[in-house]
Structure 1
Amino acid sequence: MTEIFDARKAQAAAWFRSLRDDIVAAFEMLEDTQDTGPFADAPAGRFEVSETKRTAEDGSDAGGGLMSVMRGGRVFEKVGVNVSTVYGQLGERAQKAMAARKDLSGMADDPRFWASGISLVAHMQNPQSPAVHMNTRMFWTPHAWWFGGGSDLNPCIEYEEDTAFFHETLKEYCDKHDDAYYPKFKSWADEYFFVPHRGRARGVGGIFYDDLNTGDWDADFAFTQDVGRAFLPAFLGVTNKRRNAVWTEDDKDAQLVHRGLYAEYNLVYDRGTKFGLETGHDANAVLMSLPPLAKWV
């Protein structure tokens, strides 16, 4: 079984890296083709790529990945696309957090873990063009394995047709696997991406899932791959419609206030942020999701 999962781990990690490469190429092409608007004369944005490393408590190597960040582009004010593969032993706090959601009996005796995934957040120059988040991941312990992830749209100026298009695209990819997935994971996203202290959602939703283990690794991995494949058609369909729209200073102000809401959520509630910081991953990579500028009223 160990050999089987070693191969599966390598397969999953390779997929997340391939998806990262496709998204980075698509976003740089978007920059190249932006020839109108206030940033059209600026150099086309390019990703700066750096390696990230995770160090175990004893100082040993515990994995890492690639952090790719573009700042000050024609389309993107800031966008990050990170991939990582980390491993080691789960600390007591992480064990308790996971045990609250699933049966991980035996973890105290054997706390090894392995995790790989991709995480993306894009903050746009044009406030008419919505911010977006996407991630998918695989998690393994000797006691259980599972997949998780999702994608959600975060406009500061909402358009019903954009929300409908984004959701319809996600539903199309979900329905290839199970007709129950989209309504289930949409509801999960509505609950997960809610900001309790503000009494509102951080955006217009999408899908979110975690702890996915149907017992069929190939089927669950295939679904997770399609969640990743759905991202570019869903997001670019909206972005290409809005990136040339005229905007005002009031629109920009609304965008900065909405980014404040996004930052609050990621710092207070997001599981990935908490896990990354608690397990010693590169703090800059973990906090890549934060916007370049934000404001509070």
Structure 2
Amino acid sequence: MTTEMQAEKAQAAQWFKTLRDNIVSTFQMLEDNHDSGPMSENAPGNFEVTNTKRQSDDGSDAGGGEMSVMRGGRVFEKVGVNISTVFGTLAPRAQSAMAARKGIEGMAEDPRFWASGISLVAHMQNPHCPAVHMNTRMFWTPHAWWFGGGSDLNPCLEYEEDTAHFHKTQQEFLDPHGQEHYPKLKAWADEYFYIPHRGRARGVGGIFMDDKCTGDWDADFKLTQDIGRAFLPAYQPLVEKRRVESWGDAEKDAQLVHRGLYAEYNLVYDRGTKFGLETGHDANAVLMSLPPLAKWV
């Protein structure tokens, strides 16, 4: 395997695009086929695709991606499924943070980086339908490479059977890679998606990993792919079941308050948000995760 890993980078970037295409197609189908229940009389929403660009400090091209966003649908109030592939050199602050957190040496001498991934956040019209987040990514420097990502469920109205299905499906996709993965990644998600200033998790958990580098790129990539493949079987049935349920003002109010919790986490703690803004990526793409409406009490 070469130091630059050009073939592996291309393979990873193509996979994230393929996963994006599959999810967008499925979500558009859910939107188009919503023919009974609340808001079914409205026109379906559609995804709009926008190119994003990242510029380096000297103004040169540093990659970019695509935002696929639907707003104001009858099932999805706001959903974004973004992909990006960016590259360049890390600023001194980012170099120091990465060296400290990951134990990487030599960043100052060669601060090049390359990163590619998919990021998804769905905020639903129906308060009975849970919001959800998913991302997977590959990061490369001349000194190390790794994979990361996961998915977590964020209902404002919790249903134990929905939570159980979400977790059970993820475990089924992870177990073929080793039965140690699911409990470890579940515990990691519980820790990562915790909001210290509120003393609670932002949702009902899921799976999460970072810094995944066993030295076997192919094995780590296959695990990352199955984290992505698990998403639709874990989430789609919940939307199909809950989108037809009626709701009132109390349920909508609970949803808006919970969205405030979600926004707090993403703006204060989320590493991806911080990295995207600090490295000059398109701010609209980075902040796509924020809900269209939220409420604080």
TM-score by length of 1: 0.98
Helix, strand or coil for the counterpart of 2:215?
Answer: coil
Helix, strand or coil for the counterpart of 2:230?
Answer: helix
Distance across 2 between alignment mates of 1:27 and 1:267: 26
Helix, strand or coil for the counterpart of 1:208?
Answer: strand
Distance across 2 between alignment mates of 1:126 and 1:287: 22
Report the CA distance between 1:97 and its aligned residue: 2.0
Counterpart residue identity of residue 165, structure 1 = H
TM-score by length of 2: 0.98
Q: What is aligned with 2:168?
A: 168
Helix, strand or coil for the counterpart of 1:234?
Answer: helix
Counterpart residue identity of residue 249, structure 1 = D
- The 8 Å contact of residues 173 and 226 in structure 2, kept in 1 or not, is answered as yes
Q: What is aligned with 1:201?
A: 201
Q: What is aligned with 1:49?
A: 49
Distance across 2 between alignment mates of 1:3 and 1:103: 19
Correspondences of 1:180-191 after superposition (within 5 Å): 180-191=180-191
Counterpart residue identity of residue 65, structure 1 = G
Distance across 1 between alignment mates of 2:39 and 2:154: 22
Correspondences of 1:234-249 after superposition (within 5 Å): 234-249=234-249
Counterpart residue identity of residue 86, structure 1 = V
Q: What is aligned with 1:279?
A: 279
Once the two structures are superposed, residues 114-142 of structure 1 have per-residue CA deviations (whole angstroms, 9 ceiling, x without a partner) of: 00000000000000000000000000000
Correspondences of 1:132-281 after superposition (within 5 Å): 132-281=132-281
Counterpart residue identity of residue 138, structure 2 = M
Report the CA distance between 1:44 and its aligned residue: 1.2
| Cα separation, partners in 2 of 1:48 and 1:82, compared to 1, 3 Å | same
Distance across 1 between alignment mates of 2:95 and 2:262: 27
Correspondences of 1:73-112 after superposition (within 5 Å): 73-112=73-112
Report the CA distance between 1:281 and its aligned residue: 0.0
Distance across 1 between alignment mates of 2:214 and 2:169: 24
Helix, strand or coil for the counterpart of 1:293?
Answer: coil
Q: What is aligned with 1:289?
A: 289
Q: Which stretch of the first structure deviates more once superposed, 224-233 or 31-40?
A: 31-40
Q: What is aligned with 1:30?
A: 30
Report the CA distance between 1:36 and its aligned residue: 1.5
Quick one: percent identity of the two aligned structures?
75
Q: What is aligned with 2:66?
A: 66
Counterpart residue identity of residue 271, structure 2 = R
Distance across 2 between alignment mates of 1:141 and 1:42: 48
Helix, strand or coil for the counterpart of 1:176?
Answer: helix
Structure 1, gaps ≥5 residues long: none
Correspondences of 1:12-23 after superposition (within 5 Å): 12-23=12-23
Report the CA distance between 1:238 and its aligned residue: 1.3
Alignment length, in residue pairs?
297
Structure 2, gaps ≥5 residues long: none
Helix, strand or coil for the counterpart of 1:219?
Answer: helix
Counterpart residue identity of residue 42, structure 1 = N
4+ residue runs of structure 1 moved beyond 2 angstroms?
A: 1-4
Distance across 2 between alignment mates of 1:4 and 1:198: 43
